[in-house]
Amino acid sequence: MLRPLDHAWRVVATGLAFAFIFVGGGLLAATVLPCLALWPGDSRQRSQRVIHLTFRFYLATLQAIRLLRLETEGLDRLADSGGAIVVANHPSLLDVVMLMAFIPRAHCIVKHQLWTSRLLGGLVRRAGYIRNDLDGEQMVAACRENLARGTALIVFPEGTRSRPGAPLRFQRGFATLAVLTGAPVLPVLITCDPPTLTKGEAWWTVPARRPLFRLLVGARLDTAALTGSAPRALAARRLTRGLEQQYAIWLSGQTSPPPAGVVTGA
């Protein structure tokens, strides 16, 4: 009797959680964030801080209403991730929420459609997030500027959410950015058991039991030390394949993730 009731509650609560993101994001962009621009200084940093605190509250609420469980390791590294490219696998729609909840100043590369979204467009513009339709030079310049300001840049190198059971395939964009900017890479491993909010899955398809998310943060990887004096394209390829292989090892459970500053196969 209790299990069907728990499942029904989680379906309803998931719908409310999605409504909070879209409606709440729109209200935040229309009310609080414009007020932050009235004071001197960098309003983008203030907006990022407010978004961070909002997501932190949101994540705590999801746990309190029993939609998910969360285990973490190495969160102090996320809190001190300024100037680094935070690289994470992408098993669930909640991954970006979790990362931004634990990173005080975070930048994202977002789909350009979000810039014109009625609900979330104001939020991403106020926070100064980077559009994904910029040309190569503009993209690198925008990333370099924000990294230099001490902001962390969140990147999901798969480019989209993972499919459960499928091998990870990383795109090379994050590695090219790391090589061009010289920024360190901070690897984050995210797992979810049972899988939920995966690619192609409807939001109301909640799992039979409450999912357990694990967020494990590794040590910073020195991009220059890992790639040496190799030409840019070769250095990016080495970093991409090395990190991809290491994530595969972590996910297979062969080692305790993530080792301090080591990428095998690079």
In DSSP notation, 20-49 reads IIIIIHHHHHHTHHHHHTTSSS-HHHHHHH
Is residue 116 domain-resident? yes
Is residue 44 domain-resident? yes
CB 138 within 8 A of CB 131: no
Is a pLDDT exceeding 90 seen at residue 99? yes
CB 151 within 8 A of CB 47: no
Is a pLDDT exceeding 90 seen at residue 175? yes
Number of domains in the chain: 1
Cα separation of 1 and 40, whole Å?
57
pLDDT (tens digit per residue) in 241-263: 999 998 988 888 756 555 544 44
- Higher-pLDDT residue of 254 and 103 is 103
Residue 66's CATH number: 3.40.1130
Is a pLDDT exceeding 50 seen at residue 264? no
The tokens for 195 are 């899988």
Is residue 105 domain-resident? yes
Is residue 258 domain-resident? no
pLDDT (tens digit per residue) in 110-151: 888 888 887 788 888 888 899 888 888 899 999 999 999 999
Contacts of 8 (CB under 8 A, 6+ apart): none
Domain containing 34: what range?
2-252
